[in-house]
A and B are shown apart, each in its own frame.
Chain A
Amino acid sequence: MAEIDRYQPGTKHLLMGNEAIARGALEAGVQFAAGYPGTPSSEIIARLADAAKALNVHVEWSTNEKVASEGAAAAAFAGLRSLAAMKNAGLSVALDFLTHLSYTGLGKRGGAMVTVVCDDPEGHSSGDETDSRWLAKFASIPLLEASTVDEARDIMKWAFDVSEEFGCNVMFRGYTRLCHASSTVEMNDLPAFDREARSDTDRSINPYLAKPHHGALLEKLKEIKKRFESSPFNRYEGQEEPELLIICGGNGLLCASEAVEMLGLQDRVGILKVSALWPFPSSLVTAYLKKATKILVVEEVDPFIEGHVKEALADADLEGREVYGRQSGHIPDCGEITPDSAIRALAKIFGLAYRARGENYTHAVSEAADDLVISRGLTWCAGCPHRASFWALERAVKADGRDAFVTGDIGCYTLDVFPEGKEQINVLHAMGSGSGLAAGFGQLRRFRYTQPVIAICGDSTFYHASIPALINAVYNGSNIVQIVLDNAATAMTGFQSHPGTGFNAVGESAPRIDVEMLCRSLGCEVAVGDPFDVKGTIKTMRKLLKRENGVRVLILRRRCEIVRMRNEKVKPYKIEILEEKCKGEECSVCSSAFRCPALYQDPDTGKTRIKEEICSGCGVCVEICPFKAIKKEGRTS
């Protein structure tokens, strides 16, 4: 882990993109940072939290991205420099506030605010690969994007300057291949930044009346566009009059540069990198469009720059230009940009033959791939409470026999929908949507809907977006069972704290918002159980399913195994297989149905064995073994 606040100016360090973004914010004098975890953005707030005490920065994990943005804006209204961080999905949550913030600006106290939004092209760790750049334009937020880790730090600093100068929120768009790349960065100074926070009370900051505010915003955007036209981060390299002009955003730059090098096209192309991206610097781009008749746009994910380039061509009456990119099919219309996608696009445009490898090698590769390479699916960790919860759910639903419908949510329990999960979740969308959808299904009785409805969410998700949906379900008399899998962490994104953990982002103790008390105060029937008590959990689930009336909540409480092991460092039980009782391959319930990664059948004896280095000693396998062939012995080291 990089200690980004301790690195001395002038020294070089290997920083992850998110660490460089955080360092850039510190070098810009950020005093307030808030966010909600989400891959690939989470390390920004986490590293700022590490530096919070030493540099007197307020850093928080907020309950959701809208609240984070509002907190950051408050600090900017009071004259500070602030940052909000989130993943692309979180921007949609924050957008209602951010669109109005564009109308009002940041007030007159000279504050600045940068919203960092990290996209996940290819959807490596997301249910979508939505391109946030459209939303920056939609919400009239000036948009910046970096192409290298080093530059991310510099552009972050510039983002604060732009924000302060124009009194507006500025968006910095990150993406997986920046946020989770690590590269060499030379440190700049950390300023002694100590602005006093104060609000003006003589004027109100609000967007009413909308139309004049909109008009003023459009004027401001014109000024910002002028600044972007001359931004030092928009750069051209290459031939004076290239055969092909390559226009790159973000990850497109390094992929295109490498492709040009590999195909030996240095003397035939020029590369224009656009980092100060929207308001689109059309005059700058048009100047280069005039020098080439063929243009390739390399960006991710959508044809955002490509569309603006076509608009610029039309506005400048430049005819006879061919624009290649996502829309022309030279680059696939979805997924991230890779060096290979850039190579293929260039090879096609220049009519070059390119093969990554010779025929013999390619043949040998496909043989090995077909015969030997199998997929490696995701699964819950050994000792994960969710495995036990879903095991119980599967049995409770089956025993109930009424074809219960399960709505899922976003967290580690989402792994249920993957091929090696328990495949109990029937529908899955956004944070909190499990509860909202369940509230809807729970209203369908009058249309002869007879299936029980079960919503599943985790603790962090519960605070983030499930609460309003649950209130809606109670208020409108919906008929559902809400299961809260409370593992005392925002586990999927790196075990961040949340309002139920009893501590905050910087590790100080914090009030604990109790899910149980909250649900009781809503008037829900609430049961609390331990997922490792499998039989008890099945019984409670069945009981709540039978109630058929109103909102029943089951809280299954058991700490995330990774968090527990980090704190306790010992296994609670020593697990042993009783070979004489184990039916091995004939049964294999523990491995093939329960699918604990610590259990496998010995290829020689066929009996179950334990991988000690993976086993967490949770002891759930003892309960699920049909032949009582697994034994646990308490508390060893």
Chain B
Amino acid sequence: MKVQGDPINLIICGIGGQGNILLSRIIGRILTRKGYKVNIGETFGAAQRGGAVFSSVRISKENNYGPLIPEGHGHVILSLEPLEALRSLCTFGNPEVITLTNTAPIYPVGVLSKRLEYPNPEKTKEAIRKLSKKSWFVNATQMAAELESPIAANMVMLGALIGIRTMPVTAEDAEAEVRRTFPTPRVDLNLEALHRGIEAVTQ
């Protein structure tokens, strides 16, 4: 299910500390190497402090697009957390959007303080399905935890993104970039996470 058109607007969202900024950088570097014009917008002033973190990745063969995606013009939403998937869909979703969601919730501090209630997981999933042309759900956090590294959920999700074949990124591209990005002792773990992500959506 290749996304057609130019530019391609990819949204990567999650919570500070999940490694989503790194994920957007890895995808951006891969596409830069492949000759695409890439512009990534990031909102990460409070990245480490519980807030929602959001990257928009604009990918074009022709033009230099700005870092911000117009409302309703997302093509693919990759979310490291289900509530954040829904939040991004509300702003950037449209009947053609493809959504890839890590199903492991991270409760906002307002839920811990009992000021807010975390949305029902099934209803959230249903809403994501309803607002997407196609939606995939992967428990990337659990899969990464099985590798004893929950932080590697971002690489599981990168694998899943490659597996659903929407973006001009191959497993080989990602492997090479993982090798360049991580220190040697972390490379194998992240490659394993990547491959588990690919398998999770292709089996």
Taking CB atoms, residues of chain A closer than 8 Å to B127 are: 367-368, 371-372
Output the least CB separation between B63 and chain A (Å). Answer: 8
| Interfacial residues of chain B within 63-117, with CB under 8 A of chain A in the complex | 64-73, 83-84, 86-87, 89-90, 93-95, 107-117
Taking CB atoms, residues of chain A closer than 8 Å to B49 are: 378-381, 412, 415
Output the least CB separation between B114 and chain A (Å). Answer: 5
Take A12-B32, A365-B89 as given contacts and tell me if A375 and B108 are in contact as well, using a CB distance cutoff of 8 Å: yes
Cα(A588)–Cα(B95), bound, Å: 42
| One of A219-227, A309-317, A355-363 at the interface | A355-363
Report yes or no: B110 in contact with A375, Cβ–Cβ below 8 A: yes
| One of B35-43, B155-163, B168-176, B189-197 at the interface | B35-43
Cα(A52)–Cα(B124), bound, Å: 49
Interface residues on B, range: 35 or more
Q: Which of A375, A377, A380, A588 has the most CB of B within 10 A?
A: A377
Taking CB atoms, residues of chain B closer than 8 Å to A420 are: 50, 109-110, 113, 115
Taking CB atoms, residues of chain A closer than 8 Å to B42 are: 180-182
Contact with A along B107-144 (1 / 0, CB 8 A): 11111111111111001100100110000000000000
Choose from A374, A376, A592 the contact partner of B113 (Cβ within 8 Å). Answer: A592
Report yes or no: A258 in contact with B65, Cβ–Cβ below 8 A: yes
Report yes or no: B110 in contact with A181, Cβ–Cβ below 8 A: no
Cα(A412)–Cα(B71), bound, Å: 31
A508 at the interface (CB under 8 A from B): no
| One of A335-343, A516-524, A571-579 at the interface | A335-343
Choose from A14, A338, A419 the contact partner of B110 (Cβ within 8 Å). Answer: A419
Take A14-B38, A600-B107 as given contacts and tell me if A183 and B64 are in contact as well, using a CB distance cutoff of 8 Å: yes
Interface residues on A, range: 35 or more
Cα(A338)–Cα(B124), bound, Å: 28
Report yes or no: B114 in contact with A148, Cβ–Cβ below 8 A: no
Q: Which of B36, B51, B124 has the most CB of A within 10 A?
A: B51
Output the least CB separation between B165 and chain A (Å). Answer: 23
| Interfacial residues of chain A within 570-618, with CB under 8 A of chain B in the complex | 588, 591-593, 595-597, 599-600, 613
A549 at the interface (CB under 8 A from B): no
Cα(A447)–Cα(B39), bound, Å: 58
Q: Can you show 22 pairs from A to B with CB atoms below 8 A apart?
A: A180-B43, A184-B38, A356-B70, A356-B73, A361-B95, A368-B90, A368-B131, A372-B119, A372-B120, A373-B90, A373-B119, A374-B117, A374-B118, A375-B108, A376-B51, A376-B108, A377-B50, A379-B49, A412-B49, A419-B110, A597-B50, A613-B151
Taking CB atoms, residues of chain A closer than 8 Å to B64 are: 148, 150, 183, 254
Contact with A along B39-58 (1 / 0, CB 8 A): 11111111011111000000
Report yes or no: B109 in contact with A181, Cβ–Cβ below 8 A: no
The A interface, classified by DSSP as helix, strand, loop or mixed, is: mixed
Cα(A40)–Cα(B47), bound, Å: 13
B25 at the interface (CB under 8 A from A): yes
Taking CB atoms, residues of chain A closer than 8 Å to B39 are: 149, 181-184
Report yes or no: B111 in contact with A374, Cβ–Cβ below 8 A: yes
Report yes or no: B116 in contact with A374, Cβ–Cβ below 8 A: yes
Taking CB atoms, residues of chain A closer than 8 Å to B73 are: 356
Report yes or no: A258 in contact with B70, Cβ–Cβ below 8 A: yes
Contact with B along A243-279 (1 / 0, CB 8 A): 0000000010011011000100000000000000000
Q: Which residue of B lies closest to A151 (CB)?
A: B64
Cα(A381)–Cα(B51), bound, Å: 10
What 5 A-B pairs have minimum CB-CB distances, sorted nearest first? A125-B45, A254-B66, A356-B72, A181-B67, A372-B119
Output the least CB separation between A323 and chain B (Å). Answer: 23
Cα(A419)–Cα(B65), bound, Å: 36
Report yes or no: A595 in contact with B65, Cβ–Cβ below 8 A: no
Report yes or no: A357 in contact with B109, Cβ–Cβ below 8 A: no
Report yes or no: B86 in contact with A376, Cβ–Cβ below 8 A: no
What 10 new A-B contacts, CB under 8 Å, besides A177-B66, A600-B112? A125-B46, A183-B64, A257-B66, A339-B68, A357-B93, A367-B127, A376-B15, A591-B112, A596-B112, A597-B107
B residues with CB within 8 A of A: 15, 17, 24-25, 28-29, 32, 36-46, 48-52, 64-73, 83-84, 86-87, 89-90, 93-95, 107-120, 123-124, 127, 130-131, 145, 150-151
Cα(A588)–Cα(B107), bound, Å: 15
Taking CB atoms, residues of chain A closer than 8 Å to B69 are: 339
Report yes or no: B112 in contact with A592, Cβ–Cβ below 8 A: yes
Report yes or no: A254 in contact with B65, Cβ–Cβ below 8 A: yes
Cα(A377)–Cα(B109), bound, Å: 6
Report yes or no: A375 in contact with B116, Cβ–Cβ below 8 A: yes
How many inter-chain residue pairs (CB < 8 Å) link A and B?
A: 187
A562 at the interface (CB under 8 A from B): yes
Q: Which of A182, A184, A361, A562 has the most CB of B within 10 A?
A: A182
Contact with B along A421-442 (1 / 0, CB 8 A): 0000000000000000000000
A residues with CB within 8 A of B: 12-14, 39-40, 124-125, 148-150, 177, 180-184, 251, 254-255, 257-258, 262, 338-340, 343, 356-358, 361, 364-365, 367-369, 371-381, 412, 415, 419-420, 562, 588, 591-593, 595-597, 599-600, 613
Cα(A613)–Cα(B66), bound, Å: 36
Q: Which residue of A lies closest to B53 (CB)?
A: A376
Take A181-B42, A254-B66, A375-B108 as given contacts and tell me if A595 and B93 are in contact as well, using a CB distance cutoff of 8 Å: no
Cα(A40)–Cα(B41), bound, Å: 13
Output the least CB separation between B62 and chain A (Å). Answer: 11
Cα(A284)–Cα(B38), bound, Å: 32
Choose from B43, B50, B123 the contact partner of A376 (Cβ within 8 Å). Answer: B50
Taking CB atoms, residues of chain A closer than 8 Å to B52 are: 376
Q: Which residue of A lies closest to B145 (CB)?
A: A613
Output the least CB separation between B74 and chain A (Å). Answer: 11
Report yes or no: A339 in contact with B70, Cβ–Cβ below 8 A: yes
Q: Which residue of A lies closest to B87 (CB)?
A: A373
Output the least CB separation between B119 and chain A (Å). Answer: 4
Taking CB atoms, residues of chain B closer than 8 Å to A374 are: 83, 108, 110-111, 116-119
Q: Which residue of B lies closest to A366 (CB)?
A: B90
Report yes or no: A182 in contact with B110, Cβ–Cβ below 8 A: no
Taking CB atoms, residues of chain A closer than 8 Å to B71 are: 340, 356-357
Report yes or no: B25 in contact with A372, Cβ–Cβ below 8 A: no
Taking CB atoms, residues of chain A closer than 8 Å to B32 are: 12-14, 184
Cα(A379)–Cα(B45), bound, Å: 13
Taking CB atoms, residues of chain A closer than 8 Å to B111 are: 374
Choose from A150, A338, A356, A596 the contact partner of B68 (Cβ within 8 Å). Answer: A338
Report yes or no: B28 in contact with A14, Cβ–Cβ below 8 A: yes
Report yes or no: B46 in contact with A373, Cβ–Cβ below 8 A: no
Output the least CB separation between B192 and chain A (Å). Answer: 18
Output the least CB separation between A24 and chain B (Å). Answer: 17
